[in-house]
Structure 1
Amino acid sequence: MTIRNSACFAALIIHCLFAVGCSRQMSLETLSGFAQGTSYHITYWSESSLDGEQIATDIKNELKRIDKSISNYSDSSTISTFNSNSSLEPIEVNEEISTLFSITRDVSKKSFGCYDPTVLPVFKAWGFLDNSLSIPSKAELASLRQRVGINNIRQHSAGYLKKVLPDSHLDLSSIGQGYSVKRLASILETYGVDNYLVEIGGEMQVRGHKPDGVAWRIAIEKPHKGGREVMEVLKFSDDRASAVMTSGTYRHFYESHEKSYSHVIDARTLKPVEHATLSVTVIHNDAALADAWSTALLCLGSESGMSVAEKYGLSAVFIDDGTQLLIKRSSAFIANYEKSEA
């Protein structure tokens, strides 16, 4: 997939596998590997006997299938084929892409157009795909303006999208890892596993608890450009699934003439965001939605984003820069999630 509007490894996993004295937890099963330009780690356990090799195969096959559907890195993926098609007639994609587009469209509108999955041409113009900053001229941005906008792509019917302009592009990378986490978790659940932690590139979903009944513990990372430190730790011990998605500006940024440029583009201005918010963590029962919302709220920044989080009942944590880091938590987060000591 393309470079995501999220910071990889923005959330740290803290659970039994990395704690002293946990070797006795022999019932914990682990899977790991590389996918989508990053790594994935899965921890699960079940009182029932499971075919671990088959689960591992299913996980790998699902990751490959998702790449063939929504990866912008592959010219042969379904979404790349859609992007290269200049037809204004309905274009067949698949129900998966159609559904994900519907999610991003809804979040885009609720974020006042700050978040927009059609911003890929602007991302390219700034050189962010090549990791080489190239500041577009006003004329270039004006030319790009008509190509960017959620209304330039429309949902025609199940499995079909329609372009308003022939060069409209759709990028689902801001929701792709969250969706992938959701899909891998669903595979575990089809085998009857209801105690697990699934993580791809720092984006994760947890359910249940460890074999000894202790809660899963997940840390929110302190957003600074140096080493990795824990900001605060959350405890999860619930029969329901909880997705934890974090987007940040502090890992992916570019500097020129003593000015830093975030890799997060505000689709309303076609420029990198300049507010003080460094990271946003969203907790939701749907990992795809959590991923989209963490990017959208980061785009807005805490000043505007908090009111949006409150309006839609989102459990969100904003971390702002300043003389010291400032944490802002939404009402839903305060009501629903318990902190613990790191």
Structure 2
Amino acid sequence: MRSDIPCTAEKTALPFPFKWERRAVWCLLLLYALLSACGRGPQNNVQVAAFSGTVMGTDYHVTLLLPRPDFDHQAAAHAVENALNRIDHLMSTYKPDSEISRFNASRSTEPYTVSPDTAEVIRIALQVSEMSGGAFDITVGPLVRAWGFGPDPWKGPPSRDEIARILERVGWQRLKLNGQQLVKGHPELECDLSAIAKGYAVDQAAAALDELGVEHYLVEVGGEARTRGHNRNGGPWRIGIEAPLPGERKIQAVALLSGKAIASSGNYRNFHEADAKRLGHTINPKTGEPVQGGPDAVSVIHESCAWADALATALMAMPAEAAWQKAQEWNLAACVMTVNPQNQQVILRSTTAMENLLDPVFQPETGR
């Protein structure tokens, strides 16, 4: 039997228009890979609904098993769309009237009240920042733009003086959260939630389906996905993990998920070249420069897509070996991928928890 599975792939850390974000310049589209699936055929009397759309500058796809014959799948489609648009309107830096844009535009260092959703996303972000020693930092937006990974065209590397000036207003420890109140430690500090907000949006779309009584679904937004229950064949949902090879669309591994989310981050599509170096969009918030010697891609599986999103980005911001060590130290279900520059061979290292969630018979050479 042949089955379609979505593929989780590189995301970028651009601002969050969602045109932006991880799928900005190059626009990551949903990949559907035709794989041979060994397992049971479609169960009798299973009714499936599928719908898709565009939000946050990328595509989303939802597949669900109808909980009853008279279930209104159009209501489910509207609920998902509303959940995704709500997060976009709160957290997009490309919308001047979004909540996070208004916060960024303010030069006040007095407490600024935000919505429960925004507060929760920032709470998770600050926790991951602390865990990672600052490798994950939602205040790096000005640096990301300075290196040409924002809406403006690439003009070459910024000067050391420019980087130094920007670093004066960057740093996760300059941002404080107390309940729903944010406080800036510098008047020009900004929050860029692109490395976590889309994962959170996936969680909210999933929650909308939960409220409608849907027990079996796959929600995917621009490569980030969350699952519940089983697919139409009665087995786990199959999610492809893309190989970090520029110019290619190849699945390196397949995750088998039920009740879990997956997010991936990588530097293999959205990058610049200068002085014979490849400069990825993942910025080191301590040096103000693109990370060198980091993984080519990371995938993380977690109960929460927001957490998976942030953790994958945190690992991408570390040297490859440090990322592998942290993935194990944090007991993550994660894979860290690097590419041998000599022969373009993908080296995939998976934690024990990740190995238990990967299809053991899938062969990347054949895509089966």
Whole-angstrom distance in 1 between the partners of 2:360 and 2:130: 32
Q: Any residues of structure 2 matched to 1:166-185 within 5 Å, and which?
A: 166-185=187-206
Q: Which position in structure 2 is the counterpart of 1:190? A: 211
Whole-angstrom distance in 2 between the partners of 1:54 and 1:317: 36
Counterpart among 261, 277, 298 of residue 316 in structure 2: 298
Q: Which position in structure 1 is the counterpart of 2:9? A: none
Spell out structure 1 runs of 4+ moving beyond 6 A: none
Q: Any residues of structure 2 matched to 1:1-342 within 5 Å, and which?
A: 1-2=16-17, 3-4=20-21, 9=28, 12=31, 27-48=47-68, 49-129=70-150, 130-156=152-178, 158-236=179-257, 238=258, 241-322=259-340, 323=343, 324-341=345-362, 342=368
Offset of residue 127 of structure 1: 1.9
CA 231–274 in structure 1, closer or farther in 2 if over 3 Å, else same: same
CA 119–136 in structure 1, closer or farther in 2 if over 3 Å, else same: same
Offset of residue 335 of structure 1: 4.2
Q: For structure 1, which runs of at least 5 residues remain unmatched after alignment?
A: none
Q: Secondary structure at the match of 1:332?
A: helix
Offset of residue 27 of structure 1: 1.1
Q: Secondary structure at the match of 1:274?
A: coil
Whole-angstrom distance in 2 between the partners of 1:144 and 1:71: 21
Offset of residue 44 of structure 1: 0.2
Q: Secondary structure at the match of 1:154?
A: strand
Offset of residue 134 of structure 1: 2.9
Aligned partners of 2:295 and 2:323 also within 8 Å: no
Render the CA deviation track for 1:257-292: whole Å, top value 9, x for unaligned.
432110110111111111152100000001100000
Name the TM-score, length of structure 2 as normaliser: 0.85
Whole-angstrom distance in 2 between the partners of 1:13 and 1:43: 13
Whole-angstrom distance in 1 between the partners of 2:159 and 2:84: 39
**One-letter code aligned to 1:151:** Q
Render the CA deviation track for 1:121-145: whole Å, top value 9, x for unaligned.
1111112102414311111111112
Aligned CA RMSD, in angstroms, stands at 2.5
Whole-angstrom distance in 2 between the partners of 1:335 and 1:313: 13
Aligned partners of 1:283 and 1:315 also within 8 Å: yes
Identity across the alignment (%)? 34
**One-letter code aligned to 1:300:** M
More helix by share: 1
Name the TM-score, length of structure 1 as normaliser: 0.91
Whole-angstrom distance in 2 between the partners of 1:8 and 1:220: 17
Render the CA deviation track for 1:108-127: whole Å, top value 9, x for unaligned.
12112122000011111112
Aligned partners of 1:221 and 1:232 also within 8 Å: yes
Whole-angstrom distance in 2 between the partners of 1:273 and 1:225: 18
Whole-angstrom distance in 1 between the partners of 2:32 and 2:327: 25
Offset of residue 243 of structure 1: 0.5
Offset of residue 4 of structure 1: 3.3
Q: Secondary structure at the match of 1:317?
A: strand
CA 114–11 in structure 1, closer or farther in 2 if over 3 Å, else same: farther
**One-letter code aligned to 2:235:** V
**One-letter code aligned to 1:274:** Q
Whole-angstrom distance in 2 between the partners of 1:204 and 1:301: 26
Aligned partners of 1:5 and 1:295 also within 8 Å: no
Aligned partners of 1:178 and 1:203 also within 8 Å: yes
Aligned length: 337
Aligned partners of 2:246 and 2:268 also within 8 Å: yes
Whole-angstrom distance in 1 between the partners of 2:53 and 2:233: 26
CA 10–111 in structure 1, closer or farther in 2 if over 3 Å, else same: farther
CA 204–14 in structure 1, closer or farther in 2 if over 3 Å, else same: farther
